[in-house]
Structure 1
Amino acid sequence: MTENPKLLISHGDKGGTGKSMAAALVLDHFLATGAPVLLIEGDAGIPDLALRFRGSVPVTLVNLNRAGDAETSFNKLGNVLEAAAAAGQHVVVNMPAGAGDTIDELAPVLSEIVSAVGYELVVTFSIGPHRTSTDALLKSLDRGLLSVVDPTRRSVLFPLFLGIAAQFDWSKSPSRADFMSAGGKEAAIPALRPDDLRDKILAAPGAFSVLGEDKAALTITERALFRRWLALAHAAIASVV
């Protein structure tokens, strides 16, 4: 691999803001480029991405939802990252809901590990539409995971299935201009519609790009709609990875 491998963490507010979708799209992006990539599934109890990508990429389970015992999670996480860096693999971490209490608590430790093993740390924050999500983002920027990331390597993702970006509280926040002027990025993840196509795609295992070519899984019209969505989603992800 000619470039430094990337460690991308799909962070965000509580459940339902599209963290898993963002992580899945990043994995699909790396697979499309032919780059070696490892998935770290951060919730052993609900390993949704681990089940989707099993057989497509190597998967490791590291329970990151361990408030009060973050050191145990970080010990395993550090060992996995060290081995992955030696193998030249990009790493995508799918954060579970509520993992901020674990990962934010030891953000300086993570920064030290990443620097030591030679990863470029990239963090996306999938934001919800309400003020509480803006507050969670600002907290992470102030003293959590986003505070230890190079400003040009941190991004806010608008999940458009929750509404248009202009209606999100973050879009109206006075802190947004500071975030952008420091080099932060934003991208909008398009909504996958119609709903029955979305449900079919989310229920099917495998990388998105493979599903787009599966004539048995989708009708002609569904494939056309899905490929359009995937092209837009890939462009959004490529702009922040």
Structure 2
Amino acid sequence: MPSALSSHPLYLVCGDKGGVGKSMVSVALVHHLAQRGTALLLIETDTSNPDVWRCYEQEPGIVSRSVGLDDADGWITLVNLCETHPDHTLVINTAARNNTGIARHGDILNGAVQELNRALVALWVINRQRDSVALLKRFLPSIPTATVHVLRNLYFGDSEKFELYNQSALRQTLEARGGRSLDFPDLADRVADDLISRRLSVARALRELPLGNRAELRRWEKACAATLGAITELDETDHGRDGLQDAAA
């Protein structure tokens, strides 16, 4: 009988398209986990525009590293960081160009997941364009050990407008594998711009921004907690463990 998985999963935030909102999802996920007292290792793989890393590089209690995933060396470094931080949950923010690196070198991570004894969870962020669905279909075979959840970024409209994904056979396949289709809340542009342009963590922004901005950020924080909690709480149950074992079978 396989041993129980570590309670510190690897979260891979991806989407393979620039501008779908991966950085905002990573920021929200790091904040959500940190608020729960989780020890975190943030891996920023967008070495050209490391926005998430810059927001959290000096945040107490969060270890931040920048690692490129364009070649095998980067994937080896990633796995080694996982091994040397066994008591940390990992959040990996991927770059739009990482689809090529995942296709070529994802087996390095796939091969190490069982020995690391961690669940691998991918959060695939989509907009309403056909590419979001087509690239997801291409991604799934690259990381077969992952439980994949889709986040419809409501910056691009209400969830019912994501018709290409909502009505797709791919959605049925993903949900049959244990993944969920969830809505990621929109944040007012001026507040989102504050976070990224001023390199602010959510916690710091809640202390420093003007009152109106803070009120909007608190609304978004609460909405993000509802969405992300549906994923992170699942990972702490037998259901999450079974999902990994079924995918690896």
Q: So what's the TM-score if we normalise by structure 1?
A: 0.87
2:43 matched to which residue of 1?
40
Q: Give 2:17's aligned residue.
A: 14
C-alpha contact 2:16 2:95 (8 A) present in aligned 1: no
RMSD: 1.7
Deviation at residue 3 of structure 1 after TM alignment: 5.0
Residue in structure 2 matched with residue 62 of structure 1 by the alignment = 67
- 1:1-241 equivalent positions in 2, closer than 5 A: 4-56=7-59, 57-64=62-69, 66=70, 70-85=71-86, 88-141=87-140, 143-145=141-143, 147-149=144-146, 153-168=147-162, 169-193=164-188, 195-212=189-206, 214=207, 217-241=208-232
Gaps of 5+ in 2: 233-249
Q: Deviations over 1:44-85 (max 9, x none)?
A: 221111110011121111111x2xxx3222221121111112
- How many residue pairs get matched? 225
Q: Post-superposition shift, 1:175?
A: 2.3
Q: How far apart, CA to CA, are the structure 1 residues paired with 2:66 and 2:192?
A: 26
Q: Quote the sequence identity (%).
A: 25
Runs of 4+ displaced beyond 6 Å? none
1:27 Cα offset (Å): 0.7
Counterpart Cα distance in 1 of 2:39 and 2:160: 36
How far off is 1:205 after superposition? 3.0
| SS of equivalent residue, structure 2 residue 193 | helix
Q: Distance in 2 between matches of 1:181 and 1:97?
A: 27
Say if 1:5 and 1:118, in contact at 8 Å, map to a contact too.
no
Give the gaps of 5 or more residues in structure 1: none
Q: Within 1, Cα distance between the matches of 2:27 and 2:152? A: 15
Distance 1:52 1:11 in 2: 18
Query: Secondary structure at 2:18's aligned position in 1?
Result: coil
Task: Look up the equivalent residue of 2:153 and give its one-letter code.
Answer: P
Residue 110 of structure 1 aligns with an amino acid whose one-letter code is: L
Worse-matched range after superposition: 174-183 or 116-125 = 174-183
Amino acid at match of 1:176: R
5-14 or 177-186: bigger deviation: 177-186
Closer, same or farther in 2 for the Cα pair 1:18/1:158, shift >3 Å? same
Q: Is the 8 A contact 1:186 1:240 kept in 2?
A: no
Contact 1:62 1:76 (C-alpha < 8 Å) held by counterparts: yes
